[in-house]
Chains A and B, each alone.
Chain A
């Protein structure tokens, strides 16, 4: 089953606005991570939140995790044109082969100058 489904699939905002992306998953997890991918490039790790954490901040990024709802959100504040990229959440499931990352489908964020 698909683990890690982001919504919206695409988001277009103006520079300076905030962008919120959501991720839902199906199984219990140890950690949830958010990555950024510029078109045709590799992944850049943004932030990791552990299953016993509820909120984490890193610069203009704020991540929340609600394990009861099996969902996470990524908020980018005061967006910039350089934030234009695809954003993926990735989970590693608890138990068994829990080191494997399962990626969501991603949200394509476009920040217009």
Chain B
């Protein structure tokens, strides 16, 4: 149980365009979803936390107008990278938790999306 999927797994886009990445919890309702970014050979950095039906909370240094997060349902969150630039090329990973608030440390991770901006 507790499967999280991401789509697409890989995407290549031109500089200036926008890209949408989907994160779905397949067999549970995700009260909280998280978006991480990982550069090559580096660790995961939390970008934002989203709760279903409310605005996402962004980490310091993450531009909320550039990385639009929508958590419209209990099984789907989307990350849209707007006006992408080559420096946005990275591995984006989402995670989901069925538990609210302080118990949301039990997170299930998606397989990641490799974004390449040319």
Q: Which positions in A face B, CB cutoff 8 Å?
A: 4, 30-31, 33, 35, 40-45, 48, 88, 92, 97-106, 108
Please give the number of chain B residues whose Cβ is less than 8 angstroms from any Cβ of chain A in the complex. 28
Task: Compute the total of residue contacts between A and B using a CB distance below 8 Å.
Answer: 58
Q: 29 A–B contact pairs at CB < 8 A?
A: A4-B43, A30-B102, A30-B105, A31-B105, A33-B105, A35-B109, A40-B112, A41-B111, A41-B112, A42-B110, A42-B112, A43-B44, A43-B109, A45-B108, A88-B43, A88-B44, A98-B102, A99-B49, A99-B101, A99-B103, A100-B34, A100-B49, A101-B34, A102-B46, A103-B36, A103-B43, A105-B42, A105-B43, A108-B41
Question: Do A99 and B109 touch (CB < 8 A)?
Answer: no
A40 & B91 in contact (Cβ 8 Å cutoff):
yes
Please, which residues of chain A bring their CB within 8 A of the CB of B103?
99
Check B105 against A92 for contact (C-beta < 8 Å).
yes
- The residues of B that contact A40 with a CB separation of less than 8 Å are 91, 112, 114
Residues of A within 8 A of B112 (CB): 40-42
Interface presence of B77 (CB below 8 A): no
**Nearest chain-A residue to B32 (Cβ)?**
A99
B104: Cβ under 8 A from any A Cβ: yes
Q: Which residues of A contact B46 (CB under 8 A)?
A: 100-102
Query: Measured between alpha carbons, how far is A48 from B95 in the docked complex, in Å?
Result: 16
For chain B residues 66-118, which have a beta carbon within 8 Å of chain A? Answer: 91, 93, 95, 97, 101-112, 114
Residue of A nearest to B103 (CB): A99
Closest to B113 in A: A42
Shortest CB distance A41–B (Å)? 6
Q: Which of A92, A97, A98, A99 has the most CB of B within 10 A?
A: A99
